[in-house]
Structure 1
Amino acid sequence: MALGKLAELDFDAVIFDMDGTLIDSTPAVARAWSTWAQEHGLTAEQLAGHHGMPSARVVRKLLPDHQHESAIDRINALEIDDVHDIVVLPGAADALAALRSARNAIATSCTMPLARARIAAADLAAPSVLVTADQVEHGKPAPDPFLLAAERLGVAPERCLVVEDAPAGLTAAKAAGCYRLAVITTTPEGELEADGIVRNLGDVEFLVGADGGIRVRELA
């Protein structure tokens, strides 16, 4: 695990995934989806492999068309109602604080109501630019969330560093033309394809130059 070439580059902006990157919502997510799966006669095996994707996309993959609307409404309600034991992951608060004067954003597969509920539950000081799955036509692994985040930040995607924990998000970042830093908070290192890989945000430090340029440095 190391930053690799990322340690030698300057970036105009940093775009963070949220769940699994900035906050740990794993228990709450597992409870909501377990309840939803039981209600719809699905197994844990059928749910596997969808981490990092918008819930609506998962529903559409698993259920027939006539069930989509009600099933999406149900998982959204379950997730918004359960924001217990959501915590900020190591290094996340420091990373956001360090970038307060720089351009940074969150691009998440949550809907806006769910993202706001989890941010509030974690007491996270989130950046002003927040892109959610209900703001784009195609969610991760499509590049749309990161492209929209870059547009709102006023920077070119290829000048952005994306921080992600999920293969779907890393695929989306690559398609958007962004550099990618992976954290192994939810997915084994061997399943992550990125320009650099670290354990979590506690392993790195973000430095902002006088011109607003951003560098990332690995902590000893």
Structure 2
Amino acid sequence: MNNAWAIPHRDDRRFSAALFDLDGVLTPTAEVHMKAWNRMFTDYFAKHGITPQYTDEDYFAYVDGKPRYDGVRACLASRGVVLPEGSPDDPAGTETVCGVGNTKNDAFEAILHEEGVEAYPGSIALIDHLEKLGVAMAVVSSSRNAPAVLEAAGLAHRFEVVVDGNVVAAEGIDGKPAPDMFSLAAQRLGVADQDSVVVEDALSGVQAGAAGDFGLVVGVDRGAGVDALVDNGAEMVVTGLEELIGQ
């Protein structure tokens, strides 16, 4: 196998591609998303008298890693709230799933503008390593903001293939926890799923990897917990991507 990546402690198995989630894997924008979801749902629940109040546990259980509107729908359903689906064009504040999701997106853009974002040093180290090896790389993110985040973090030029929430909508494929986004990314890289490594920090992301026929599913523990990542499909768990630098 040309341009092969050997991951430490994986029995000399070699891989041709890395399929990275973005938020929480390459950049700490998972924290920005968490703040945006918290801001939006805390205000929404208070306005409508919805209980119990929104917490970070809700983020990991219902929202993390999913397409935006799926996260809205799941979290509201956990409180017995069902809204009309609406349209992606619904203005923020509209009483629809899409309107609530667009309110969250406005909050995300505001926080990103206020705080900016820098890639994790360990993630940059792995990207540099894989580039030297000639290993193909793609970003696979449920967020429609992935291009803006990559640009803000100075990573846009490092990835020719980005499969994000915009691609999901355009191609009509299923988002995470289905494996379709990762399979499409591997296809666009010209690499078989079996020769690709999925790198994810979200439970829905490792579920997506486990649901496909990928060579390896790596969980990155940024708060979801080692046991939860393994239980949902991660075959190994690291705390930083520098741990994946091999031969």
Identity %: 28
Higher relative contact order (CA 8 A, sep 6+): 1
User: How much has 1:47 moved relative to structure 2?
Assistant: 4.3
Look up the match of 2:149: 118
Residue 23 of structure 2: SS of its match in structure 1?
Answer: coil
Look up the match of 1:211: none
Q: 2:224 aligns with which of 187, 211, 216?
A: 187
Distance (Å, rounded) in 2 between the aligned partners of 1:182 and 1:69: 30
Structure (1/2) with the larger strand percentage: 1
Look up the match of 2:142: 109
TM-score, normalised to structure 1, is 0.83
Q: 1:99 to 1:118 in 2, by over 3 A?
A: same
Deviates more, 1:184-193 or 1:122-131: 122-131
TM-score, normalised to structure 2, is 0.75
Distance (Å, rounded) in 2 between the aligned partners of 1:184 and 1:38: 25
Q: 2:124 aligns with which of 73, 76, 93?
A: 93
Answer whether contact 1:21 1:164 (CA < 8 A) is retained. Answer: yes
User: How much has 1:81 moved relative to structure 2?
Assistant: 2.8
Answer whether contact 1:28 1:85 (CA < 8 A) is retained. Answer: no
Q: 1:4 to 1:120 in 2, by over 3 A?
A: closer
Structure 1: which 5+ runs fail to align?
A: 208-220
Map 1:139-218 → 2, pairs under 5 A: 139-178=175-214, 179-193=216-230, 194-207=234-247
**What is the count of residue pairs matched by the alignment?**
203
Structure 2: which 5+ runs fail to align?
A: 1-6, 77-81, 86-95
User: How much has 1:206 moved relative to structure 2?
Assistant: 4.5
Q: 1:7 to 1:65 in 2, by over 3 A?
A: farther
Between structure 1 and structure 2, the one with the greater Rg is 2
Partner amino acid, structure 2, of 1:60? R
Distance (Å, rounded) in 2 between the aligned partners of 1:140 and 1:151: 17
Name segments (4+ residues, structure 1) moved above 6 Å: none
Check if 1:130 corresponds to 2:159: no
Look up the match of 1:44: 54
